[in-house]
Structure 1
Amino acid sequence: MNVLFLSIGSINHIEDKGIYTDLLRQFRENSHCVYVVSSREKRTEMPTEYKKENGIHILKVRIGNITKNNKFEKGISTIRIEGQFLRAIKQYLGEVKFDLVIYSTPPITFEKVINYIKKRDDAKSYLLLKDIFPQNAVDLNMFSRSSVIYKYFRWKEKRLYKVSDYIGCMSQANIDFLLEHNTKISASSLEICPNSIDPIAIIKDENKINLTRNQYNIPTDKTVFIYGGNLGKPQGIDFLIQCLQANKNNKQAFFIIAGSGTEFAKLKAYFDKEQPMNAQLYEELPLEEYERLVNACDVGLIFLDYRFTIPNFPSRLLAYMEATMPVLAATDANTDIGKVIENGHFGLWCESNNVSQFNQKLEQLHEQEVREAMGKNARAYLEQNYTAKHSYEIIMSHFE
């Protein structure tokens, strides 16, 4: 089949690790012809570009800035993406007839592009639902349900669902939420198609772990908890800071926070003021360096704002599982990530508005035998449920 994949993410190299590149390589390895249309922000000062790399066609479309900017610029740039993608596809891929178009949220503004491909080529469409917008923004008080902004994006969201033949959700809670709040969606079009990767073998080498810990001045006699990824409003950074403060004198625990986002400055201000002796903060690290750091830690942390009514399922969970690490998740009560973690016996969960509960879970993970057992369960669960091959087979089940 000719497969078209749309993403506002910047896909630079198809061999890079990631939930989308790993999936796309599965299509390539199963003899499909893959075309990727992704974005290139204006700040890069690079034009729209079309190339073929390792058997996959990549069209990089120049768009406005949608990251690291103010809400107004981000909103305008997001609205314009649809027209920019459509023009680029007509210009560079006008002669290609597609059988399947795959796309993810965010954004929810691809409906015209998908409709165009479906009508032109009689293609099928598959939505990988990674985000439920605009409700997530309402949950965080970014705007209200009565606002014009909400009504516009809610209209676009409904149109996106309508044009999607199949919707792959990250978990059962996502399916339940969609059905409850979108009565026109057919239950038969929904299925679980989770975040997934092509896991690599990671050998726990104590010498390398100690070298990495020494390099980063991480103690070897404490349980090391790491949070890596986006540091924005969805992560509930205020609660993360409360947890760090509550454990400032904890002689058994050491915390590493590594990432970037709109709330990084708030975290840095806390570190500058309090100078916690058992915590370190890093801006976003190169992937290889970050992975080496993760592999030298003991427990992976996940944080989500307690106000969420939508069931998020962060993909950073996969990096921890790949590294054979247990997970401590502090989230809202509506996501089922905690249920998955605890039912799979590879971590612990608490609500992200209860510091004492977080500390109780933290204490349970100081036992090395507990961590090792949970870590093995994490890796096994990943290989059984969250591989890119698994996601590929779910999507292709509709075409075989």
Structure 2
Amino acid sequence: MRIALIADAFPPMRTSSAVQLRDLAREFIRQGHQLTLLLPSSSLDQPWHLEHLDGVEVLRLRAPRTKDIGYVRRTLAEIAMPIAMRRNLAKSPLARRRWDGVVWYSPSIFHGPLVSSIKRTSDCRAYLIVRDIFPEWAVDMGLMRRGPAYHFFNAVAQYQYRLADVIGMQTPGNGRYFAQWHKKPGRDLEVLQNWLDMPTNNRCSVQVADTVLAGRKLFVYAGNMGVAQGLDIVLDLAEKLVARDDVGFLFVGRGSEAVRLKADAKARGLTNTLFFDEIDPDEIPDLYSQCAAGIVALDSRHKSHNIPGKFLTYMQSGLPVLANVNAGNDIAELIRHEQVGEVCETNRLDELAGLADVLLVKIDRDREISSRCRKLFSTRFSVVSAARQIAAALAN
């Protein structure tokens, strides 16, 4: 099958979505499909650039910059992005290419015009991978009111939903957001689990043995440090445990809150906490081999369900988790049912601290906990299954 995959993240970016899309693209090739990845690029000095990476045809199309800029500029750039990509696709060697299916990854919610063009000219089915219920989560977080901005973004999101023949959502709990959409005949709604391929195991640039946390049992957080993660309570936990010389906290990554959190930890005098910039994804296994447990954090104001990519990386490496998530999130039941960690749904520091103590004891006594983590990853989050599921939906 000839598939077009549209996204705004891919290596050399190091975000979890970039790694996921790289792994999915490689798996489509392994399963015998022809894949073209369409990406926006603000660094091109020409309309397009075509390259081949691991058998994947990658077409980078010049478009406005949408990363690491202010909200207003980013919104305007995202509106222009798919229009610029569509215009520059028409100038590329693939202008007359026809695909058997088009897949796109959200976020961003703005890919609709390009998807519409490909779907129309190729007369093919369209599969939307939804990993972010925006703008709903922004309203839940108090970052946006249900005013003009919300209604604009919601209209954009609804437009991309209308283009999809199939929507793959993260968990069953998110089905309520698509109930009305699903009522129209010919539309399919399904759970598409997050996925990861096996990374290369490179030596990590972060070596705990060379730091003040050497010899401690480490809780590690690796990934985006943004508003949606609600990481302040993790710093509160570190402060509560600062007198324990056997426990430490390691934060690795970037994000809108990273600088503030690091400064806060310094202001509190947290000698049990270290921050590092993001690392290459292939260094993650070696990083985790130095740690005792992974941290999953989602702001308690969330109402949607989310299984973060970092949770998959923890499971893949056999690392049990300490989670602080919004009440009722599907991931809480998953963690408890599979016995791969401890989870707090109250956002209360005393409960989280108690669960941290429980988990540390379990790590010492439960010899099977790492095996359960790896088994959960292999049975639920395989990139092989994800690629097969998407391809099957496009072929129907």
Which TM-score applies when normalising by structure 2?
Answer: 0.91
Structure 2: how far apart are the matches of 1:171 and 1:163? 21
Question: Contact 1:199–1:387 (CA<8 Å) still a contact in 2?
Answer: no
Question: Contact 1:305–1:352 (CA<8 Å) still a contact in 2?
Answer: no
Structure 2: how far apart are the matches of 1:288 and 1:161? 34
Partner of 2:192: 193
Alignment pair present for 1:380 and 2:375: yes
Structure 1: how far apart are the matches of 2:169 and 2:365? 31
- State the secondary structure of the residue aligned to 1:316: helix
- State the secondary structure of the residue aligned to 1:281: strand
State the Cα distance separating 1:46 from its structure 2 match.
Answer: 8.2
Q: Deviations over 1:345-382 (max 9, x none)?
A: 11111126211111111001212345642221110011
Q: Percent same amino acid among aligned pairs? A: 22
Flag the 1:352–1:136 CA change in 2: closer, same or farther, 3 A.
Answer: same
Partner of 1:121: 122
Structure 2: how far apart are the matches of 1:281 and 1:8? 27
Match for 2:256: what amino acid? T
Flag the 1:285–1:47 CA change in 2: closer, same or farther, 3 A.
Answer: farther
Match for 1:160: what amino acid? Q
- State the secondary structure of the residue aligned to 1:366: helix
Question: Contact 1:10–1:40 (CA<8 Å) still a contact in 2?
Answer: no
Over the residues paired in the alignment, what is the CA RMSD in angstroms?
2.6
State the Cα distance separating 1:138 from its structure 2 match.
Answer: 1.2
Flag the 1:186–1:341 CA change in 2: closer, same or farther, 3 A.
Answer: farther
Question: Contact 2:26–2:54 (CA<8 Å) still a contact in 1?
Answer: no
- State the secondary structure of the residue aligned to 1:365: helix
Alignment pair present for 1:279 and 2:278: no
State the Cα distance separating 1:186 from its structure 2 match.
Answer: 6.2
Partner of 1:304: 298
Flag the 1:38–1:19 CA change in 2: closer, same or farther, 3 A.
Answer: same
Partner of 2:392: 397
Q: Deviations over 1:333-355 (max 9, x none)?
A: 14211111111111111126211
Structure 2 matches for 1:118-197, cutoff 5 A? 118-145=119-146, 147-179=147-179, 182=181, 184=183, 189-197=188-196
Partner of 2:59: 59
Flag the 1:303–1:55 CA change in 2: closer, same or farther, 3 A.
Answer: same
State the Cα distance separating 1:83 from its structure 2 match.
Answer: 0.6
Unaligned runs of 5+ in 2: none
Question: Contact 2:8–2:40 (CA<8 Å) still a contact in 1?
Answer: yes
- State the secondary structure of the residue aligned to 2:68: coil
- State the secondary structure of the residue aligned to 1:268: helix
Flag the 1:105–1:24 CA change in 2: closer, same or farther, 3 A.
Answer: same
Structure 2 matches for 1:210-249, cutoff 5 A? 212-220=207-215, 222-249=216-243
Question: Contact 2:50–2:58 (CA<8 Å) still a contact in 1?
Answer: yes
State the Cα distance separating 1:216 from its structure 2 match.
Answer: 3.5
Flag the 1:363–1:46 CA change in 2: closer, same or farther, 3 A.
Answer: farther
Flag the 1:331–1:52 CA change in 2: closer, same or farther, 3 A.
Answer: same
State the Cα distance separating 1:182 from its structure 2 match.
Answer: 5.0
Structure 1: how far apart are the matches of 2:32 and 2:39? 22
State the Cα distance separating 1:121 from its structure 2 match.
Answer: 0.9
Structure 1: how far apart are the matches of 2:222 and 2:258? 12
Flag the 1:223–1:11 CA change in 2: closer, same or farther, 3 A.
Answer: closer
Question: Contact 1:102–1:127 (CA<8 Å) still a contact in 2?
Answer: yes
Match for 2:20: what amino acid? I
Match for 1:130: what amino acid? R
Partner of 1:107: 108
Equivalenced residues, count = 389
Alignment pair present for 1:259 and 2:259: no
Flag the 1:125–1:182 CA change in 2: closer, same or farther, 3 A.
Answer: closer
Question: Contact 1:65–1:73 (CA<8 Å) still a contact in 2?
Answer: no
Question: Contact 2:201–2:284 (CA<8 Å) still a contact in 1?
Answer: no
User: After the TM superposition, which of the residue ranges 78-87 and 4-13 deviates more from structure 2?
Assistant: 4-13
Question: Contact 2:293–2:321 (CA<8 Å) still a contact in 1?
Answer: yes
Structure 2: how far apart are the matches of 1:237 and 1:298? 19
Structure 2: how far apart are the matches of 1:198 and 1:29? 12
Question: Contact 2:42–2:62 (CA<8 Å) still a contact in 1?
Answer: yes
Q: Deviations over 1:98-147 (max 9, x none)?
A: 011111111111222111111111111001111011111112222211x2
Structure 2: how far apart are the matches of 1:148 and 1:167? 26
State the Cα distance separating 1:184 from its structure 2 match.
Answer: 4.7
Q: Deviations over 1:34-71 (max 9, x none)?
A: 100112245x8787422223322111123333222221
